Amino acid sequence: MAIWHQQKRKTSRCALVKSTLCLAILAAMGNVYAEETKADDTKAAETQKKNDKDMEVIEVRGIRASMAQNLNIKRMSNAVVDAITAEDIGKFPDKNVADSLQRVPGVIIQRDGGEGATVSIRGLSSDLTFTQLNGNFIASSPGDPSRSFDYSLLPSSMISMVEVFKSPEARLDEGGVGGTVILHTRTPFEMEANSGLVNVEYTYADVTDKYEPQFAVVYSWKNDDEDIGLLVGYTRQHRTNRTLSGGTSANIWRWNGAKDNPAVDVNGNPVDNNNGWGKITDAKGQQYEGIWFPQVVRTAVVKEQRERDGIQVTGQWRPADDWEVTANYFHFNLGQDRTLSAVDMPEWLLSPDFLTNIHLDPSGTIATGMDYSAGASGAPADMQFPWIRGTYVREESSSDTYDFKVNYVGDNFSARLIAGHTASEGGPSESWEAAYKSSNWGEERDGISNAAQYAGWSLGPDRVSMYMDPNILNNLLAGAGGGRDPGSSNSSFVRSTLEETYAQLDVDFDVEWGLFDKIAVGAKYRNAKLHRETGNNFFISPDLDVEARLAAGKDITRFDSYQWNGGMPLAMDILNTSGESNIAGGFDINLMPTINWEKYRNLILQNYVPYTRIEDNFVYDIEETISAMYLQGDFSFSDFRGNVGVRVVRTETISSSTDLYTFFLDHTDDVTGKPVQGDDRFVENYDLISRENTDTHVLPSFNLAWDVTDNLVVRTALAEVISRPGYNAMGSQERISWVSEEWADDRKEFNVLPGFSGSGGNKELKPFESLQADLSIEYYYGDGSAIGAALFYKKVDNFVVPLVIDSTRYYPGMPGIIEPGEITVSPYSTSGNGTNAKSQGWEVFMQHSFDNGIGFYANYTRNDTNQAGISVNGEEVAASPLVGSADYQYNLSVYYENDDFSVRGSYNKRGEVVQGINSGLNVYQDPYDQLDVNASYNITEALTLTGSVINLTESEQTSRVGNDTDARLLNTSYSGRRFYMGISYQF
């Protein structure tokens, strides 16, 4: 057992309290030595084999034993490490690995559909958490690529242990400024022959009212000589997620005043976010100036049908006592059918013809509600909202990993050779979007027909409320209103593939060089390739000769698709006959019309044929070639132990993207009043831009543990660490739009402004660099019981943060449209490098097990970050705290168990989390807390009944723009309370 050998080696070098586990191991070691000294070689070998088998049946069972092992791993480590071990085969502490990690001091998670998806450590972005499977990178690619591992892809039943390294060692791969998470799977040599698990479970959520199954099986075999072994595992989960959210969408808040804006940025300077808005006047003639108001207020329901599969096949072969060969194959697959149903109230019609009232916060500067009426001006007008929107996406993400490892143990050294390949792909196979107006906007009908005569919204401290004419749905189903919006009815998608090939050689020498007792050297090669593309699914007439069109040098465009050719279904034909029900949280609404996507799709596919076009002008590629070498020395003297080393890393990065300029020329024909099509409507021009960068980093690390007494350990660590910029921040293509005066005039009712605006990545982004230090003290006063405290400090340079700026650059011009010269792109959304950011704080933890079966584990982390400068192209343009940081976090888990029964309650709370910049201000997630409960009952020694409740507190997530007031609400979401009930058979 690899873990036991590591513990044995360290036990011989330091004074340790004699726990039950340690005594068992030492006794086994002593028995082996005694037998070898008084028997011939044959009998010694048989005795050794017998004792090896005896050692393998020392199992960790139950909550208390698992938590004691977690503590033992933490204690024996030279670095700053926390660990989580499975209570038994296939029984990880939580349904999701990320949910378990949030109980580690300093770790917070972000959820997707109520499931833990990404992990952040000590206040840093999840992109700075480096996740590995058995010590190597594992690719995950959920459509839009990210360096964060998608934990929703990984079945927790396959994981036996997780290590969280908060301080690095030279032997570990670089990439985790926040920290490194190493997921360990089981191997057949560490399990008994013909052992395994079968688990069947059902789940229910209050937001779905559905009972759904999941299944897991693990089987491990090895021969009598224990030199050949095979482990296979399979898990399948069917789950429906439903997230209820309300807010101001991802759109910006606007400010219609000048520099007297009462809100300030992170430097304390007034924020100017005018965006061309002047005074707003309601139907009573009341004028409003110098107020914040949301661009869009939205209520939305996201439904996801998830099918998750996981496969593990591990084979091991021991051709000789000194050799061990391991081969692994892992396959993870996540299929999703996702619909979004939304009702939007945009700022389109902020005019006295519709606006009857504006509600303000006590300061009189923030709009917290607006009321509208189709007859506000005295006569019925074309009130286009509520705007009924929706999307349907069918997508799949998969990850496949093959790796091969050879271990050799010599007399005074050991060597490991590892080679592997990991690849993932993800993105939609189908993507639909449609939108309808409440009036007959855009339809050729006599007179104005409004399905809703009035509507409105209001924002509370943590709730979005929306109301509308209760007759709206009946009117829409009767054909009144329901104007089709082809410009907002598209089928675009994002897909990506990510792969990495790696090879590594490590050699450990047992030495007696003064303080040093082991010297480790190694080298690793990694080549990673990312391809990200955007495409469109057009649905065209069967009569269109595609081959002839392409042969003539003309492409199929969006104007050939159904929505621009009278093929978009009528609202009355595709709306559900009742509004969305079971609104258990997230927002309040009196009626919510939604699109029936099965009807919508069937109507289109009956009359049109699909045509997929990959957009050459929306592509980016990144290739990274990483070469690393390290030297590490493990030392021990007196009561001290630790390691010191250096890792040298060279990274060659080639990034390329298509930078697109779109010129919006004329929206509506002045004669016919109908939309202009083709090149007369807009022109696109794009270029392929490539950059090549090479960085070399020398990364020293030092870890020291002082065993002050048998029970007291003091640690210190110092290191330099890097993380590479996020894929999107670095590679995302530049998209610049120019709006003509004619286009803006045609769209003036929507407050469209002429000029340049855009967004894009920053290919000059530098890797994150961090100088970090740790100091901790741990007191182990009993079996499975300890208390400790830690201080940590990180100085981070080149951290990446999204921001919106004015970008001035030279443009070579577009013939007949724009003359060459200097242009200003405003607003321009991009990313910049920050400098001199600091994340510092402290942690405390306590774990205690009582003899009566009761135990608890508690921890608290405090994190402080400064305001750091942000630069683009060498110019400081803003300031921000570290994105992803939270000011505090604490956990409390209390459990009780006996031979037949166990129950555990886990409470987790994290403080305010800093996110990106929006409208010149940082976005902040409100403090969030959640209580989970799980229990099990042993029917027999092999058969166990299990149950869990996730989010017993029915907690909701809330975010807002700026932290100077609660009034600028951005989003609230509720993913439900979930119940699990299952039965497990272990053999």
Summarize pLDDT for 947-962 with one digit per residue, the tens.
999 999 999 999 998 8
Q: Is residue 727's pLDDT more than 50? A: yes
100 phi and psi angles, rounded to 5 deg: -70, -40
Give the mean pLDDT of 282-295: 88
Nearest to 719 by CA among 827, 642, 630, 644: 644
Q: How far is CA 707 from CA 443, 548, 637, in A?
A: 80, 80, 11
Euclidean distance between CA atoms 87 and 213, whole angstroms: 22
If pLDDT is split at 50, 70 and 90, which confidence band does 524 have? very high
Whole-angstrom distance, CA of residue 161 vs CA of residue 184: 5
547 Cβ neighbours under 8 A, 6+ residues apart: none
- Best CA proximity match to 720, nearest among 773, 767, 766, 790: 773
Given a cut of 90, whether residue 516 has pLDDT beyond it is: yes
Higher-pLDDT residue of 803 and 615 is: 615
Please name the residues in contact with 633: beta carbons below 8 A apart, sequence gap of 6 or more.
516, 518, 519, 520, 643, 644, 645
CB atoms near residue 903 (< 10 Å) = 15
Q: Please name the residue ranges forming H helices in 264-356.
A: none
User: What is the end-to-end Cα distance of the chain in Å, rounded?
Assistant: 20
Please, what's the b/e burial string for 909-939 (b: 16 or more CB within 10 A of its CB; e: otherwise)?
Answer: bbbbbbbbbbbbbbbbbbebebbbebbbebe
The predicted structure's pLDDT at residue 200:
93
**What is the distance between the alpha carbons of residues 771 and 344, in angstroms, rounded to a whole number?**
46
Quick one: pLDDT at residue 469? 95
- β partners of residue 439: 450
The answer to whether residue 272 scores a pLDDT higher than 60 is no
State the pairing for strand pair 483-484/413-437. Answer: antiparallel
Q: Could you give the 3-state DSSP secondary structure of residue 734?
A: coil
Percentage of the chain exceeding pLDDT 90: 47
Total count of residues recorded for the chain: 987
Q: What is the 3-state secondary structure (H, E, C) of 13-67?
A: CCCCCCCHHHHHHHHHHHHHHHHHHCCCHHHHHHHHHHHHHHHHCCCCCHHHHHH
Among 240-249, 853-862, 970-979, where is mean pLDDT lowest?
A: 240-249
Give the whole-angstrom CA distance, residue 433 versus residue 424: 26
Give tens-digit pLDDT for 17-31: 334 334 333 333 333
d(CA 970, CA 364): 19
Query: Rounded to 5 degrees, what are φ and ψ at 256?
Result: -105, 30
SS3 412: coil
> Percentages helix, strand, coil for the chain, rounded to the nearest 5?
15, 55, 30
Q: Mean per-residue pLDDT for 341-358?
A: 87
What letter does residue 157 receive in the DSSP assignment? G
Q: How confident is the model at residue 75 (pLDDT cuts 50, 70, 90)?
A: very high
Segment 541-555 mean pLDDT:
89
Least confident of 54-68, 524-538, 579-593: 54-68
Choose the weakest-confidence range: 42-51, 249-258, 462-471, 586-595: 42-51
Q: Mean pLDDT of all residues in the chain?
A: 84
State both tokens at 107.
């770790």
User: Which pair of tokens denotes residue 855?
Assistant: 């135990």
Residue 257 has pLDDT above 80, yes or no: no
**Average pLDDT for 143-148:** 73
In which band, very low, low, confident or very high, does the pLDDT at 838 lie, cut at 50, 70 and 90?
A: confident
| Per-residue model confidence (pLDDT) at position 712 | 97
Q: Indicate if the pLDDT at residue 964 is higher than 80.
A: yes
What is the arithmetic mean of pLDDT over 608-634?
A: 90
What's residue 50's pLDDT? 44
How many other CB atoms sit within 10 Å of the CB of residue 976?
24
Burial class (CB in 10 A: 0-12, 13-18, 19+), 309: middle
Supply the pLDDT for residue 324: 97
